[in-house]
Amino acid sequence: MARKKIALIGGGQIGGVLAQLIAMRQLGDVVMYDIVEDLPQGKTLDIAEAARVDGFDVSVTGTNSYKDIAGSDLVIVTAGLPRKPGMSRDDLLTTNAKIIKAVAEGVKEYAPNSIVMIISNPLDAMVTLFKKVSGFPANRVLGQAGVLDSSRFATFIAWELGVSVKDVNAMVLGGHGDTMVPLVRYANVNGIPAMEMLERKYKDKAKAVEVMNAMVERTKMAGGEVVKLLKTGSAFYSPASSAVAMAQSILLDEKRLFPACALLNGEFGINGYYVGVTTVLGANGVERVVELSLSAEEQAALDNSVNAVKKLVEDMERLGF
């Protein structure tokens, strides 16, 4: 059986980790595209030369030409300017919209049957723009954000409760930004509500709520926390790992339930916008959106997040994209 082909658009920090992780999991042959001459060739050669040590036989190559992504089954887009200290995701809008428009045109021409996953920020607007420019069906255009945000939330809960993060389930919906919605009610440790475990730990409901609220806020600001510490860039290990988990579900048709940035048609009361929601990812991309039962407070928080996404999209359209 022929191997799957995965195109990585962008040879920066995330692109490099993506290529290595995909190769080590042997999900398919990798081709990395970047506009910088020799950068993707050098980065992929370095990864390929570890094949014997890491035990993979897939091909890992770099290119400066879109024609080399032809026949790709999956395209993962990381191209764009990373956030810098003091810069919000929204500040990236104009610069990255120009880049994503060019990427969408290249992918449409050379990989018209691919499933496309966007990681570039501001995420929800960039996925919207890619869909608009490419004209691809909605199930084949999605964004990675919720898996990362949920992993961050789960990690903070595990640290606080002193349990394995492998047993923590957490879900974050909404736009990938400061208005994201970590769903406290659904957070659990192998089925035991996280709030219940916090209350047992502190023997004080008010204290448990205070601690949980702090974790929620840290989750919302987690990307900025990494940016502030790094000083010269943004997170790349955790976004790449999150994208590869989604890629594996698509390429191997695992049909895993993941939060992803998907186009909504009435689900959660939202119509015509790309927002982070619970989805099933398989061979057809976003195979379906799974609606959760939300409380009035949770729905209000999600609506607030959607309003932030709407503003981003409106700003992008006003700028001519």
**pLDDT single digits (tens) 117-142:** 999 989 999 999 999 999 999 999 99
Return the CATH class of domain 145-321: alpha beta
User: Residue 291 pLDDT > 70, yes or no?
Assistant: yes
**Hey, what are 299's tokens?**
């729905």
Residue with tokens 């409901």: 205
**Which amino acid, one-letter code, is at 263?**
L
* Cβ atoms 128, 121 nearer than 8 A: no
User: Residue 90 pLDDT > 80, yes or no?
Assistant: no
Residue 287's nearest CA partner among 262, 266, 252 is: 262
Angle between helix 13-25 and 39-48 (nearest 10) = 30
**pTM (predicted TM-score):** 0.95
- The span from the CA of 242 to the CA of 247, in Å, is 9
Q: Are strands 285-289 and 271-282 parallel, antiparallel or unpaired?
A: antiparallel
| Average pLDDT along the chain | 95
**Which amino acid, one-letter code, is at 143?**
G
Q: Report the side by side order of strands in the sheet with 285-289.
A: 60-63, 29-33, 5-9, 74-77, 115-118, 141-143, 256-265, 271-282, 285-289
- The span from the CA of 206 to the CA of 219, in Å, is 20
User: Residue 93 pLDDT > 90, yes or no?
Assistant: no
Classify domain 5-144 by CATH number.
Answer: 3.40.50.720
Report residue 1's pLDDT band, with 50, 70 and 90 as the boundaries.
Answer: confident
Q: Delimit the CATH 3.40.50.720 region(s) of the chain.
A: 5-144
- Catalytic residue set: 176
User: Residue 82 pLDDT > 80, yes or no?
Assistant: no
Which one is predicted more confidently, 81 or 179?
Answer: 179
Q: Delimit the CATH 3.90.110.10 region(s) of the chain.
A: 145-321
Residue 110's nearest CA partner among 74, 72, 142, 78 is: 72
Average pLDDT over residues 147-169: 98
Report residue 50's pLDDT band, with 50, 70 and 90 as the boundaries.
Answer: very high
Task: Tell me what percent of the residues of the chain surpass a pLDDT of 90.
Answer: 89
User: Residue 85 pLDDT > 90, yes or no?
Assistant: no
| Predicted pLDDT at 84 | 65
pLDDT by residue (tens digit) across 216-234?
999 999 999 999 999 888 8
Coil, strand, or helix at residue 302? helix
pLDDT by residue (tens digit) across 230-273?
988 889 999 999 999 999 999 999 999 999 999 999 999 999 99
Angle between helix 13-25 and 237-251 (nearest 10) = 40
Report residue 89's pLDDT band, with 50, 70 and 90 as the boundaries.
Answer: low
Report residue 185's pLDDT band, with 50, 70 and 90 as the boundaries.
Answer: very high
- The span from the CA of 292 to the CA of 279, in Å, is 10
Dump the DSSP string for 176-227. SSTT-EE-GGG-EETTEEHHHHHHHHHS-HHHHHHHHHHHHHHHHTHHHHHH
**Hey, what are 293's tokens?**
């039962």
User: Residue 88 pLDDT > 80, yes or no?
Assistant: no
Q: Are strands 168-169 and 188-189 parallel, antiparallel or unpaired?
A: antiparallel
